[in-house]
Amino acid sequence: ASQQLSKSETIKLRNKHIGQACQLFYRSDPLKIVRGQGQYMFDEEGTRYLDCINNVAHVGHCHPEVVRAGALQMATISTNNRFLHDELVQCAQTLTSKMPAPLSVCFFVNSGSEANDLALRLARNYTKRQDVITLDHAYHGHLQSVMEISPYKFNQPGGEQKVDYVHVAPCPDSYGGQYTDKQFPDADLGLLYAQPVADICERQLAKGQGVAAFIAESLQSCGGQILPPAGYFQRVYEAVHRAGGLCIADEVQVGFGRVGSHYWAFETQHVVPDIVCVAKPMGNGHPVGAVVTTPAIAQAFHATGVAYFNTYGGNPVSCAIANAVMRVIEQEGLQQNAQRLGEYLLRECGQLKQEFDCVGDVRGLGLFVGIELVSDRDERVPDTAAARWVVNRMKQLHQVLVSSDGPNDNVIKLKPPMCFSLENADEFLLAFRECLATLTCDHLQQARVAVADAATNGVIATAADTLANKTKLFERQDRLIKSV
Contact call for residue 116 and ligand PMP (CB under 6 A) = yes
The phi, psi pair for 376, rounded to 5°, reads -145, 110
The whole-angstrom separation of Cα 252 and Cα 435 is 31
**Of 316, 288, 279, 246, whose CA–CA distance to 102 is shortest?**
246
Contact call for residue 406 and ligand PMP (CB under 6 A) = no
- Minimum CB distance to ligand PMP smaller for 117 or for 383: 117
Contact call for residue 413 and ligand PMP (CB under 6 A) = no
Contact call for residue 118 and ligand PMP (CB under 6 A) = no
Among 139, 233, 266, 432, binds ligand PMP (CB under 6 A): 139
Q: Is the dihedral of CA 316, 322, 326, 332 positive or negative?
A: positive
Q: Which residues contact 189 (CB under 8 A, 6 or more apart)?
A: 172, 174, 179, 181, 229, 232
As measured in angstroms, the least distance from the Cβ of 99 to ligand PMP is 18
Among 81, 174, 204, 253, binds ligand PMP (CB under 6 A): 253
As measured in angstroms, the least distance from the Cβ of 110 to ligand PMP is 8
**Per-residue mark of binding to ligand PMP, 417-446 (x: CB under 6 A):** ------------------------------
Total residues contacting ligand PMP (rule CB under 6 A)?
A: 16
Stretch that binds ligand PMP, among 34-42, 214-222, 295-303, 422-430 (CB under 6 A): 214-222
Contact call for residue 111 and ligand PMP (CB under 6 A) = yes
The whole-angstrom separation of Cα 482 and Cα 472 is 16
- Minimum CB distance to ligand PMP smaller for 222 or for 359: 222
Among 112, 190, 196, 417, binds ligand PMP (CB under 6 A): 112
Residues 258-297 within binding reach of ligand PMP (CB under 6 A): 279-280
- Minimum CB distance to ligand PMP smaller for 147 or for 345: 147
Contact call for residue 217 and ligand PMP (CB under 6 A) = yes
- Minimum CB distance to ligand PMP smaller for 145 or for 440: 145
**Per-residue mark of binding to ligand PMP, 222-241 (x: CB under 6 A):** x-------------------
Residue 365 DSSP SS3: strand
Stretch that binds ligand PMP, among 136-144, 172-180, 321-329, 462-470 (CB under 6 A): 136-144
Stretch that binds ligand PMP, among 138-146, 174-182, 306-314, 395-403 (CB under 6 A): 138-146
Torsion angle defined by CA atoms of residues 177, 55, 403 and 248, in that order, rounded to the nearest 10 degrees: -20
- Minimum CB distance to ligand PMP smaller for 217 or for 427: 217
CA angle 59, 62, 66 (to 5 degrees): 65
The whole-angstrom separation of Cα 172 and Cα 149 is 16
167 beta partners: 133
The whole-angstrom separation of Cα 254 and Cα 226 is 11
Find out whether 159 and 167 touch, Cβ atoms under 8 Å. no
As measured in angstroms, the least distance from the Cβ of 117 to ligand PMP is 9
The number of angstroms, rounded, from the C-alpha of 155 to the middle of its chain's C-alpha atoms is 18
Find out whether 266 and 276 touch, Cβ atoms under 8 Å. yes
Q: Is the dihedral of CA 439, 444, 445, 447 positive or negative?
A: positive
State how beta strands 48-51 and 400-401 pair: parallel
DSSP 173: -
Find out whether 145 and 350 touch, Cβ atoms under 8 Å. no
**Of 115, 447, 152, 461, whose CA–CA distance to 255 is shortest?**
115
Stretch that binds ligand PMP, among 190-198, 216-224, 298-306, 472-480 (CB under 6 A): 216-224
The phi, psi pair for 239, rounded to 5°, reads -65, -40
- Which helix (H) or strand (E) is 209 found in, with range? none
As measured in angstroms, the least distance from the Cβ of 217 to ligand PMP is 5
- How buried is residue 480: exposed, middle or buried, by Cβ count under 10 Å (0-12/13-18/19+)? middle
Contact call for residue 218 and ligand PMP (CB under 6 A) = no
Among 36, 70, 141, 196, binds ligand PMP (CB under 6 A): 141
Among 149, 197, 239, 252, binds ligand PMP (CB under 6 A): 252
Among 81, 113, 404, 440, binds ligand PMP (CB under 6 A): 113
Nearest-CB residue to ligand PMP?
A: 112
The whole-angstrom separation of Cα 59 and Cα 416 is 10
The whole-angstrom separation of Cα 189 and Cα 226 is 13
As measured in angstroms, the least distance from the Cβ of 225 to ligand PMP is 12
Stretch that binds ligand PMP, among 111-119, 179-187, 343-351, 460-468 (CB under 6 A): 111-119
As measured in angstroms, the least distance from the Cβ of 293 to ligand PMP is 17
Question: For binding to ligand PMP (CB under 6 A), which residues are involved?
Answer: 111-113, 116, 139-142, 217, 221-222, 250, 252-253, 279-280
